[in-house]
Structure 1
Amino acid sequence: MSEMPKSQTKGFLNSFFELEKRQTNVKTEILAGLTTFITMSYIIIVNPQILADAGVPKEAALAATIFASVIATLLMALWANFPVAIAPGMGLNAFFAYTVVLGQGLTWQTALGAVFISGIVFLLLTVTGVRQKIVDGVPGVLRSAIGVGIGLFIAFIGFKNAGIVISSDATFVALGDITKKGPLLALFGLIVAAILMAKKVKGSMLISVLITTVAAMIVGFISFPTSVSDIFSLQLPSISDTLFAMDLKGAIEYGVFSVIFSFTIVELFDNLATLIGLSKKAGLMDENGKIENLDRALQADAVATMCSAALGSTAMNAYVENATGISEGGRTGLSALTVAFLFILSLLFAPLIFLVPSVATAPILILVGALMLTEIKHISFDDYTDVIPVFLTIILMPLTYSIAQGLAFGFLSYTILKLATGKHKQVHWIMYFISIAFIIHFIISGH
């Protein structure tokens, strides 16, 4: 009799997630979900620290990060049946904190309002089919340049947080004192993570964070936990400080067109490219290049971004780390459902997360930047009308401390150079629209 419920459960899971159709089983999917969670769980530690730099209360930022990831991943599992987990996007969170809030001077509440609106725009673009037209209209070299530029920007932030790179009145930036505990710990964590990644150890980034945190306690950089409650708690972190704190009116009154535009552009390219790559790896793409339920997956991401903003976190994105779970056999939403469950369990360890110093997470930012550099292999360097816009996009993101400004210079220079050299046929009409939008942005904002 005890076998009946178990059998019925397996039958339901098989039917709902189409396990047999995709040639997988419950055990494989759960193990795949566990693998994915281990490799991407560093976001639980890193995202709240980035949001805290923007003034978001850290405890609420942690809760928002986890709750948003749970909702988003459940949507991906139950609505799209994709073996893909979603969480606040690296790059999008940096844009939120360092460009929009610290760079442009918006309050974090207003910035959350802009994130929410970008989610609405993303959803409308998806359901109307305009999304595909925009993606098709932007040249591949610029799509790749966006990823590389964001990677350099994130890495620069990591070096800054580590104290390895500091500000200088004479040279703007300079090497910090790497004999101090902070930079040394960050370099130690960077080496540990790099070695583990080279050896293909699952969860290498998370392991590096934990080892560096322990090392920081041993050398006296941070204090050891003084009680069991400092490590483990049954009390959930409060989300009250950020729940529905987004300022939609403020975002609209500020005229954050360029902010919303930049959020949407990055979401479009990064998320679509990641989902296509993961779907292909999972064998979900047919011989004609069509991916079943791709629109549902993109709709889930857009709705998740709106939910994330309402909770107090940033725009959501599919993580490339899902490839590890797919490599373990993940083919359906059941693996994503497993990740969502593990995200919920991580709430119990919130006090431990608060013990992690920024020097332990800085190496992760640097390595994420290094991984994003691989997009450069898709860029051709034979045509200067391609090379110069690519260069401006990549270099100006970290130098202006703004993803939006890098996008603006890249898109504008591409359009102008193609027109000036008689290559206007290579310019899709959507590029004119985007370029005009950036010109209006410069006129209105003055920078």
Structure 2
Amino acid sequence: MESFFKFSERGSSSTTEVRAGLTTFLAMAYIIVVNPSILTAAGIPATAAVTATCLGAAIMTIAMGLFSNRPLACASGMGINSIVAFTLCGGMGYGWQTAMAVIFVEGVAILILVLCGLREAIMDAIPVSLRHAISIGLGLFIAMIGLKDANVIIANESTMVALGEVTSPSFIVGIISIVLTVVLYSMKVKGALLWGIIIAAIIGVPLGVTPVPSSIVAPLDFSTFGAPFLESPTGVMGIVEVFMTPALLLFAFSLMMSDFFDTMGTAMAVAKQGEFLTDDGKVEDIRPILIVDSIAAFVGGLFGASSITTFVESASGAADGGRTGLTSIVAGILFLLAAFLSPLISCIPSAATCGALVFVGFLMMTDVVDIDWTDVLEGFPAFMIIAGIPFTYSISNGIGLGFITYVIVAVVTGKVKEIRPLMWVAAVAFLAYFILV
């Protein structure tokens, strides 16, 4: 294993990688419950949604570990699954077979762009200041996810965001997980993030936050596999209906834009924690990561799990010492087991992972000193990304705001020559994306 994973070269060990894989899995385990709960609104049977979610995540996470040898994990992405359930199926009335066909088409399109080198070329064209901003914005986004899932912060009609009820069990477990993680990390306890999750989950049992499973084993249901090629309620194969409907092709384009840049931001965030981000903000050996992620997108549609993408929560495993693909493989194996043991795995409450995610957000803030805030061309677009990602609750939206702003500021300050051609392409594509969507 040493020769394949390069533990010594990357300052890691098999024990550390296994622990990091468990940390990553626990930080992502909520998807086992959340994704099926959303997809059932689209008419997909609950057991089939669980099977597709777990097996899709398992296969693509293991593939990521084997082919990229980086600590990145994949699962059905939040946001796109809601579009499938509540827009394509609920709002527009299409069957889930057709909605999954849209995901399938989007994934194939992204894979073609990667194989042509366009996705990687666009990443290389991004100014260094914006690369740092993406990492910082992702840090705030991760922290916000953790705080929201623990109800430490909640929605408020008057102020948009407010502090949650401090006496609520979820709030208490979330705060405990943060304190545990900081204390254990400060004491240099190995696996501080993992121990923070586990201890907080145990404390959550008497508080009613961590449920006691009613069963351990659940049956598998493969009825959604091959979804794009199944007959939809209209009597037409899902993939055929997509190509017969211009509106669905437009949806595929908008989802492609979201997937395209979400993964770019996630890769940078995890690379920062996993120490494979170069000084100028480039992700080392990015191509295999992008290829696997692109394949994951259409595999998600094929399995009926919604679009599978690289999870930003992977940064928690990287922060816990994960440096190689073994971290991913361990997480993938756990997803495989979760397909059978979903009632047990789903008992880990999202509140217990709050500390790990908030602490990762703290670690990712270090890039803020690498941006020249006295230069408006570097500083303001970077600020738009940093603010845009958490405030719009979307990685791609925040990146889009920063790209468009960068082009505008460069034009008005007479620095048009500093804009690389592909930055123009990306900015125009984002403008079209915002207008059309």
Instruction: Tell me the distance in 1 between the aligned counterparts of 2:421 and 2:24.
Output: 38
Q: Secondary structure at the match of 1:39?
A: helix
Task: From 123, 126, 140, give the equivalent of 1:135.
Answer: 123
The alpha carbon displacement at 1:33 in A equals 4.6
Name the counterpart of 2:70: 84
Call closer, same or farther: CA 1:144–1:187 in 2, change over 3 Å. same
Instruction: Tell me the distance in 2 between the aligned counterparts of 1:112 and 1:198.
Output: 45
Instruction: Tell me the distance in 1 between the aligned counterparts of 2:48 and 2:363.
Output: 29
Name the counterpart of 2:207: 219
Call closer, same or farther: CA 1:336–1:262 in 2, change over 3 Å. closer
Letter in 1 for 2:70: V
Q: Determine whether 1:244 maps to 2:244.
A: no
TM-score normalized by structure 2?
0.75
Name the counterpart of 1:356: 348
The alpha carbon displacement at 1:127 in A equals 1.9
Name the counterpart of 1:159: 147
CA-to-aligned-CA distance 1:248-304 (integer Å, 9 cap, x gap): 6569624223331121122235337756985859xxx9xxx997x864454233223
Name the counterpart of 2:296: 304
Instruction: Tell me the distance in 2 between the aligned counterparts of 1:273 and 1:170.
Output: 32
Instruction: Tell me the distance in 2 between the aligned counterparts of 1:314 and 1:195.
Output: 37
Name the counterpart of 1:426: 418
Superposition pairs of residues 22-421 of structure 1, within 5 angstroms: 31=15, 33-51=17-35, 54-55=38-39, 60=48, 62-76=50-64, 80=67, 82-88=68-74, 93-96=77-80, 100=83, 105-107=87-89, 109=96, 115-221=103-209, 223-225=211-213, 230=215, 232-233=216-217, 235-238=218-221, 240=223, 244=227, 249=241, 253-254=247-248, 255-256=250-251, 257-271=253-267, 274=270, 295-311=287-303, 312-317=305-310, 319-320=314-315, 321-322=317-318, 340-421=332-413
Given that 2:21 and 2:327 are in contact with CA atoms closer than 8 Å, whether structure 1 keeps it comes out as no
TM-score normalized by structure 1?
0.74
Q: Secondary structure at the match of 1:443?
A: helix
Given that 2:62 and 2:332 are in contact with CA atoms closer than 8 Å, whether structure 1 keeps it comes out as yes
Q: Secondary structure at the match of 1:166?
A: strand
Call closer, same or farther: CA 1:152–1:239 in 2, change over 3 Å. farther
The alpha carbon displacement at 1:430 in A equals 1.1
Given that 1:258 and 1:438 are in contact with CA atoms closer than 8 Å, whether structure 2 keeps it comes out as no
CA-to-aligned-CA distance 1:157-183 (integer Å, 9 cap, x gap): 332332222233332222222122221
Q: Secondary structure at the match of 2:161?
A: strand
The alpha carbon displacement at 1:390 in A equals 1.4
Given that 2:153 and 2:161 are in contact with CA atoms closer than 8 Å, whether structure 1 keeps it comes out as yes
Given that 2:77 and 2:307 are in contact with CA atoms closer than 8 Å, whether structure 1 keeps it comes out as yes
The alpha carbon displacement at 1:422 in A equals 0.2
**Any unmatched runs of 5+ in structure 2?**
91-95, 230-237
Name the counterpart of 1:7: none
Q: Secondary structure at the match of 1:382?
A: coil
RMSD of aligned Cα (Å): 4.0
Name the counterpart of 2:234: none
CA-to-aligned-CA distance 1:365-398 (integer Å, 9 cap, x gap): 4344334434434423231122111112221233
Instruction: Tell me the distance in 2 between the aligned counterparts of 1:202 and 1:252.
Output: 53
**Any unmatched runs of 5+ in structure 1?**
1-12
CA-to-aligned-CA distance 1:96-142 (integer Å, 9 cap, x gap): 357x569x945595775555444323322222222332112121222
Name the counterpart of 2:93: none
| Structure 1 stretch displaced more, 104-113 or 294-303 | 104-113
Instruction: Tell me the distance in 1 between the aligned counterparts of 2:79 and 2:366.
Output: 20
Instruction: Tell me the distance in 2 between the aligned counterparts of 1:187 and 1:260.
Output: 37
Given that 2:65 and 2:326 are in contact with CA atoms closer than 8 Å, whether structure 1 keeps it comes out as yes
Given that 1:41 and 1:206 are in contact with CA atoms closer than 8 Å, whether structure 2 keeps it comes out as no
Aligned length: 405
Instruction: Tell me the distance in 1 between the aligned counterparts of 2:190 and 2:321.
Output: 10
Given that 2:51 and 2:222 are in contact with CA atoms closer than 8 Å, whether structure 1 keeps it comes out as yes
Given that 2:133 and 2:367 are in contact with CA atoms closer than 8 Å, whether structure 1 keeps it comes out as yes
The alpha carbon displacement at 1:421 in A equals 0.6
Amino-acid identity (%): 26
Letter in 1 for 2:24: M
